[in-house]
């Protein structure tokens, strides 16, 4: 197992990327906030298939946490993350040694359309922080391909749009959601769940997939009238609360590309069903194709 380079300064990062480029290597990149799980490692695997060198970064981005959110307590496990990335075959781990924001940072990017609604209704400045750091990291690493998980489906869609709108020379690839044996979407925040929380959380994907199949018409024989979107969503929301969740931020059927909310059948495919539910303040995200 070869050891990845661990680089903490921008100067060294750029020098290494230039050296690789000079010898004809291609660069795949997986940005992370650490606390790595199999989901992240599956993105590293995709990167290794798409490029000859794989770079991962670990940076807990303060700009995407609102006051009162878990920035201070966000799990930081540098050595174990480095070990995981080493085993996954990463070639370079970029761990910036200091803040990536100058004290007088004053440039912001807003992705309209796909950036409106859904997460933004609940975390109004979240995507402002995400696009900022992704833009900065893409400028620093200058990869050929960058891989983002489909679990954060709106984030992935926004990044694709920003890259297209801003002519950033990188191909964005979405990595399928990694799930545990019970179908729970892997997330660094699952570590916050107690035992009951884990049982509840594991119901979410089942309810989501059942609702998606219903919406896609696959259960039409079983459930008369299932084509009514509002009815299906209302039923699924009741199931989510019955499973033990405290509240639901949203459960929406959206157009997979524009993220426009779909309220009427028949709808244009591909469509995606997105959910965020809360258990004791822990937000759990999931989504799946719905036809």
**What is the binding site for ligand PAF (CB under 6 A)?**
31-33, 61, 64, 130, 133-134, 152, 155
- 135 vs 184, which CB is nearer to ligand PAF? 135
DSSP secondary structure letters along 67-87: TTSSTTTS---HHHHHHHHHH
- CA distances to 37, 50, 88, 209 from 82, rounded to whole Å, are 12, 21, 10, 34
For the bound state, the minimum distance from the C-beta of residue 64 to ligand PAF, rounded and expressed in Å, comes to 6
Angle, alpha carbons 134-163-22 (nearest 5°) = 80
- 186 vs 233, which CB is nearer to ligand PAF? 186
- 141 vs 233, which CB is nearer to ligand PAF? 141
DSSP summary character for residue 259: -
- 153 vs 267, which CB is nearer to ligand PAF? 153
Sign of the dihedral through C-alpha 56, 57, 61, 65? positive
Selected catalytic residue, list 40, 105, 122, 182: 40
Choose among 219, 163, 204: nearest CA to 29.
163
Choose among 187, 179, 183, 222: nearest CA to 74.
187
Structure-token pair, residue 154: 């709106």
For the bound state, the minimum distance from the C-beta of residue 159 to ligand PAF, rounded and expressed in Å, comes to 8
For the bound state, the minimum distance from the C-beta of residue 31 to ligand PAF, rounded and expressed in Å, comes to 4
Contacts of 10 (CB under 8 A, 6+ apart): 96, 140
Contacts of 17 (CB under 8 A, 6+ apart): 27, 55, 141, 142
For the bound state, the minimum distance from the C-beta of residue 101 to ligand PAF, rounded and expressed in Å, comes to 13
40 is an active site residue: yes
- 21 vs 192, which CB is nearer to ligand PAF? 192
For the bound state, the minimum distance from the C-beta of residue 190 to ligand PAF, rounded and expressed in Å, comes to 14
Instruction: For residues 19 and 130, give the distance between their C-alpha atoms in angstroms, rounded to a whole number.
Output: 29
Please give the positions annotated as active site: 40
């Amino acid at each position: 197992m070869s050891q990845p380079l661990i680089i903490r300064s921008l100067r060294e990062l750029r020098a290494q990327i230039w050296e690789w480029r000079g010898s004809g290597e291609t660069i795949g990149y997986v940005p992370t906030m650490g606390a790595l799980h199999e989901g992240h490692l599956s993105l590293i695997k995709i990167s290794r298939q798409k490029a000859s060198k794989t770079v991962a970064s670990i940076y807990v981005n303060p700009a995407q946490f609102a006051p009162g959110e878990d920035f201070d307590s966000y799990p930081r496990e540098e050595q174990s993350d480095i070990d995981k990335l080493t085993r996954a075959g990463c070639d370079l781990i970029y761990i910036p040694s200091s803040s990536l924001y100058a004290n007088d940072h004053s440039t912001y990017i807003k992705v309209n359309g796909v950036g409106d609604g859904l997460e933004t209704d609940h975390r109004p400045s979240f995507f402002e922080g995400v696009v900022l750091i992704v833009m900065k990291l893409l400028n620093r690493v200058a990869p050929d391909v960058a891989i983002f998980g489909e679990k954060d489906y709106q984030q992935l869609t926004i990044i694709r749009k920003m890259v297209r709108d801003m002519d950033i020379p990188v191909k964005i690839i979405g990595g399928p959601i990694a799930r545990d044996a019970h179908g729970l979407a892997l997330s660094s925040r699952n570590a916050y769940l107690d035992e009951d929380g884990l049982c509840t959380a594991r119901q979410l994907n089942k309810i989501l997939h059942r609702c998606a199949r219903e919406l896609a018409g696959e259960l039409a024989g079983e459930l008369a009238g299932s084509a009514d979107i509002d009815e299906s969503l209302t039923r699924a929301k009741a199931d989510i609360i019955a499973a033990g969740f405290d509240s639901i931020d949203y459960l929406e059927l959206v157009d997979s590309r524009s993220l426009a909310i779909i309220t009427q059948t028949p709808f244009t495919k591909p469509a995606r069903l997105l959910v965020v539910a809360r258990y004791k303040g822990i937000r759990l995200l999931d989504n799946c194709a719905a036809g």
